[in-house]
Structure 1
Amino acid sequence: MESPRRVKPYAKPEGERRGLLLVYTGDGKGKSTAAFGLALRAHGRGLRVRVFQFLKHQGARFGEHRAFEALGIPIEGLGDGFTWKSRDLEASALLAREGWERAKAALLSGDWDLVVLDEATYPLRYGWIPLEEFLEALGSRPRHVHVVVTGRGAPEALLALADTVTEMRKVKHAFDQGVPAQRGIEH
């Protein structure tokens, strides 16, 4: 057991408020879910939120798409699904590059307060989006724009640039025990 804290464990930060770069990475569940939770929090506070998903296909109708659409939060699938299901990886790479151009334009426009780049580490790892260009865009975004990048295996250079990095670690997963994905809970 532990006693509740009676003294604040930190001093109030004195730095400036600015757009933050957050990275959710690791092999555990919850990277996209954390990003979507942050998007909901931001939207609830009146921030303008835009979500891009680099693996989901355009027109996808997963639970997050339905919820964000109901709330008026733009969400766009930029890919063609899981790579192991792709019939043409060159076409998948082209979709990622074209999607990155749309996401980069939104990021640099200043029209959005929070831009979620969900599953963006995958096209970076596959070399479909040049890492240097990605990092340059993150560094060139308007000062007020917050960005969340999700996906396994985030490159070290991205981690170094980030203000906040959370690594999700799998402790136990139902899928490993033969339980299939549950609609509305995880996929």
Structure 2
Amino acid sequence: MIHIYTGNGKGKTTAAIGLAIRAAGAGKRIFFGQFVKDMAYNEVALIRRQIPQIEHELFGRGCFFGREPLPEDHEAAKNGLEKLKRVALSGEYQLIIMDELNIAIKYNLLTVEEILAFLDFVPTDTEVVITGRYARQELIDRADLVTEMKEIKHYFKKGLTSREGIEY
């Protein structure tokens, strides 16, 4: 099955991590690849210390707020997709999470066509989770489950910044 967690609301990555923890509890192996992001947030620190069934790797160089992607950003995303192809082929993982993949597509680091081809490539007994705002209709059409996180209200609009243990 292919899952998509998208929308402007908070909780897309958190939902993917929750599913990863559930899968790990059932004895499954998970590969958690994060596109665009360039730092391991606190949830990843816990995963690395406590949940050996979840393998994590960063495929990014940071967010694009206030800048255009550089050639190095494109290369990091392409390398990440190549790594995920090897992961899928290995047959070692029952869940592959492609965190912030929709952002990588939005900024043209990867194409929808490349991702659709990747999904064709994934063994049928492997779940795939795609997160990030701006999910393209082609991926939504291909998915088996799509959840949209909708922002109703957010404390950032009051001027609060990211808080350790809550946003990172």
* TM-score, structure 2 as length reference: 0.93
* Residues in 2 aligned to 1:40 and 1:165: alpha-carbon distance in whole angstroms: 19
- 2:47 corresponds in structure 1 to 68
- 1:182 corresponds in structure 2 to 163
Aligned partner of 1:56 among 28, 33, 37: 37
Q: Note the residue ranges of structure 2 that are not aligned, 5 or more in a row.
A: none
Q: Note the residue ranges of structure 1 that are not aligned, 5 or more in a row.
A: 1-19
Aligned partner of 1:166 among 144, 147, 150: 147
Query: How high is the sequence identity, in percent, across the aligned residues?
Result: 38
Q: 114-123 or 124-133, which moves further after superposition?
A: 124-133
Amino acid corresponding to residue 165 of structure 1 in structure 2: V
* Residues in 1 aligned to 2:96 and 2:121: alpha-carbon distance in whole angstroms: 14
* Residues in 2 aligned to 1:153 and 1:166: alpha-carbon distance in whole angstroms: 12
After superposition, give the CA deviation of every residue in 1:102-153 in whole Å (9 maximum; x if it has no partner). 1222123322000000000111122221211211111221111001000001
* Residues in 1 aligned to 2:22 and 2:76: alpha-carbon distance in whole angstroms: 30
Aligned partner of 1:93 among 74, 88, 95: 74
Provide runs of 4+ in structure 1 moved above 3 Å. 85-88
- 1:121 corresponds in structure 2 to 102
* Residues in 1 aligned to 2:67 and 2:75: alpha-carbon distance in whole angstroms: 12
Aligned length: 166
* Residues in 1 aligned to 2:144 and 2:68: alpha-carbon distance in whole angstroms: 37
* TM-score, structure 1 as length reference: 0.84
Matches within 5 A, 1:147-166: 147-166=128-147
**Greater relative CO (CA pairs within 8 A, separation 6+):** 2
Q: 97-106 or 163-172, which moves further after superposition?
A: 97-106
RMSD over equivalenced CA pairs, Å: 1.5
* Residues in 2 aligned to 1:155 and 1:95: alpha-carbon distance in whole angstroms: 21
* Residues in 2 aligned to 1:132 and 1:88: alpha-carbon distance in whole angstroms: 20
> Deviation of residue 179 (structure 1)?
1.1
